[in-house]
Structure 1
Amino acid sequence: MSYLTTQDGVRLFHEEAGQGTPIVFVHEFGGDARSWEPQMRHFSRRHRCIVFSARGYPPSDVPDDLEHYSQAIATRDILDVLDHLAIERAHIVGLSMGGFATLHFGLSHPDRALSLVVAGAGYGAEKAYETYFRDVSLEVARQFEAQGAPAFAQTYALAASRIAFQLKDPRGWQEFAARLGEHSARGSAMTMRGVQARRPSLYDLEDRLRRMEVPLLVMAGDEDDHCLQPGLFLKRVVPASGLAILPKSGHTLNLEEPALFNLLVADFIATVEQGRWLPRDPRAIPAEIMKTS
């Protein structure tokens, strides 16, 4: 196993495959480094692909201090991965919690990102649901500690946005749920409290997002309800952004629809590398319906 040590002394497990322009994959709360296997197998044919398990996710360290978990720290961990591997710039691909970290990476370190893929990112972003999201995040943390990961994983894996995955790919969903049950209950609880429950709403970042020039692909499943409006928001405010909505799909996009996910991401990366993923043309005025003069 390969490890790196972050700026605050936390060891992170990582692995890589392939050669070429680097891609770093950043997993969701319910996943870990293993969640990106369909992407590692596909993209390592042409790219240097890197995955890592976030702090709190064994075999990475599980710090006991809540102050070792935050959105800013999760963002900085991506930077530490790049620095450890001597990668100057990379495409960053993140899902859900990893999507938030990916977006923040583009805001904080635009010179280190070739492009950003932000998939299934939106939970807690909607202003009307901010308080609810923080409260339910704290309750999820409490249940992980009270029941343990093997037991509570069976509940968490049946969240509304995971049902589409279970219905269309029961074997894939069962593997997801089993791996979730192998997580550290303490690490999951600390991640929920420190990262999820405390991160800022995407809407509070609007001014910074409007100035971000990094090419961005936003992805959401059409049955992942609380990611749809935040996805539209990102499309409307980030200049060089595109939006892909996957039909009859939920939250776990890269595992639920791996072929379509890979196709969309590969086309995006290829377009970026050709210098053709451009900011929206100012003539495409959002308020205009038809031209009369």
Structure 2
Amino acid sequence: MQSTLLGQPLQRTTVSGNTEIHFTRGGQGAPLVFVHGGMGDWSSWAPQWDAFTPHFRCTTYSRRYSSPNRNPLVGADHSVLAEAQDLVQLLGQWCDRPAVLVGTSYGAYTALQAALVAPQRVRALAITEPPVLPFADEVPGGQAARLQFQREVLDPATEAFRRGDPDQAVSMLTDGINGLGQGEAGTPEGRARRLRNALAMQALCLSADPYPALDRDALQALRLPILLTHGDRTQAIHQATTRALSRHLPLARVVRVADSGHGVHRDNPQAFNTLVLDFLRTV
């Protein structure tokens, strides 16, 4: 059955001056905001929408360089720091009380940074494989995985963007981030969504510091309910960063989700939805 999310009308707001953000909302209850990954957009959470809206007032939005936003790419310093500033402003617009943040990949990174800078706006976090790449070096084999990921995925994709070939860049990033074989990322629908959101990854690939380390002391001090999920067949770089991050989040519940890679919420939505909803019932 097709998700009702895809039939929702989009609304528009602005943050950080004149940066436009498209979003949609539905459901009743406590506020919950979905934050999509690097090559996703507001529609990425279709497999979650009908499971979560009976319990929460849900909002899903497109981060600043994702479709259908029309923000021009400015500067060469874009990172999770700016994305988190956007999110904090959006929470101020949308939520009259602390919200649950559900994020995946770069969206999980964004949600986590937002919780660090504005913990008063966040009730709980359910995050999947935030790519805090500098943390990978802290665990055995992590530095090798990070350097390989940089050499075989990020550097070639950056060169493809620089020579004006976003199709090739998106293909490299999709295979390098999500892996070959099973998974929603490799479907025609998944690849089409990633291609229309190529600018979001171009902004990161051309940035001087796209994956900054988060404040380790602030992470240790974070006193929020946190669910940290990861796929059982995810890439080595994601395994390393998730393992390292878990050491800085002593209160987090860490769960491996079967039959999934980096895109847990779309690879195995039934297991993901049940897991997150059960977690949120406890908070």
TM-score, scaled relative to structure 1: 0.81
Q: CA 1:153 to 1:239, structure 2 compared with 1: closer, same or farther past 3 Å? A: closer
CA shift for structure 1 position 132: 5.6
Q: Give the drift of 1:72.
A: 1.3
Q: How far off its partner does 1:62 sit?
A: 2.6
Task: Tell me if structure 2 keeps the 8 A contact 1:123–1:133.
Answer: no
Render the CA deviation track for 1:251-271: whole Å, top value 9, x for unaligned.
Answer: 111110100111111011111
Please, which runs of 5 or more residues in structure 2 have no aligned partner? 1-9, 138-142
Paired residue for 1:35? 44
Deviations 1:13-40 (A, max 9, x none): 1111111111111111121111111111
Give 1:103's match in structure 2, choosing from 104, 112, 119. 112
Shift of residue 151, structure 1, vs aligned partner:
4.8
Correspondence for 2:225: 215
Q: What is the CA distance between 1:46 and its match in structure 2?
A: 1.4
Gap runs ≥5 in structure 1: 273-293
Q: 2:189 aligns with which of 156, 168, 175?
A: 175
Q: 1:157 aligns with which of 174, 177, 183?
A: 174
Match of 2:250 in 1: 239
Decide whether the 8 Å contact of 1:122 with 1:228 is kept in 2: no
From the superposition, tell whether residues 151 and 97 of structure 1 become closer, same or farther in structure 2 (CA, over 3 Å).
Answer: same
TM-superposition CA deviations, 1:86-110 (whole Å, max 9, x none):
4331000110101111111111111
4+ runs of 1 displaced by more than 4 Å? 129-136
User: What pairs up with 1:254-265 in 2 under 5 angstroms?
Assistant: 254-265=265-276
**Structure 2 residue corresponding to 1:189, chosen from 196, 199, 202:** 202
- The answer on whether the counterparts of 1:141 and 1:192 sit within 8 Å (CA) in structure 2 is yes
Residue by residue over 1:42-71, the C-alpha shift from the partner in whole angstroms, topping out at 9 and shown as x without a partner, is 101111111111111121133221257222
Provide the TM-score with structure 2 as the length reference.
Answer: 0.83
8 A contact 1:19–1:44 mirrored in 2: yes
Distance apart, 1:157 and its partner CA: 2.6
CA contact (8 A) 2:31 2:58 kept: yes
Contact 1:3 1:12 in 2 (8 A): yes
CA distance 1:34–1:144, shift in 2 (3 Å): farther
* 2:23 corresponds to 1:9: no
Quick one: which of 30, 33, 38 aligns to 1:21? 30
Range 117-126 or range 100-109, more displaced: 117-126
Structure 1 residues 179-200: Cα deviation after superposition (integer angstroms, max 9, x where no partner): 11222x44431133338x4322
Deviations, residues 166-190 of structure 1 (Å, cap 9, x unaligned)? 4xx69x732111211222x444311
Sort the Cα spacing of 1:152 and 1:198 in 2 relative to 1 into closer, same or farther, 3 A: closer
Tell me the amino acid that sits aligned with residue 202 of structure 2: A
2 CA distance for matches of 1:82 and 1:154? 33
1:76 is aligned to 85
Counterpart position of 1:66: 75
The answer (yes or no) to whether the contact 2:101–2:122 under 8 Å persists in 1 is yes
Spell out, residue by residue over 1:269-291, the C-alpha distance to the aligned partner (whole angstroms, 9 max, x if none). 1111xxxxxxxxxxxxxxxxxxx
CA positional deviation for 1:119: 0.1
The size of the alignment, in residue pairs, is 265
- Aligned partners of 2:95 and 2:256: how far apart in 1? 34
- Higher mean C-alpha deviation, range 98-107 or range 174-183: 174-183
Measured in 1, the distance between the counterparts of 2:64 and 2:106 equals 13
How far apart, in 2, do the equivalents of 1:218 and 1:120 lie? 7
Aligned equivalent of 1:281: none
142 and 41 in structure 1: CA distance in 2 versus 1, 3 angstrom threshold: farther
AA of the residue aligned to 2:52: F
Counterpart AA for 1:194 = S
The 1:110–1:252 alpha-carbon spacing in structure 2 relative to 1, beyond 3 Å, is same
AA aligned to 1:158 is D
Shift of residue 134 of structure 1? 5.5
Q: Trace 1:132-151 onto structure 2 (pairs within 5 A).
A: 136-146=153-163, 148-151=165-168
- How large is the Cα RMSD of the aligned pairs? 2.5
SS at match of 1:62: coil
User: What amino acid sits opposite 2:190 in the alignment?
Assistant: F
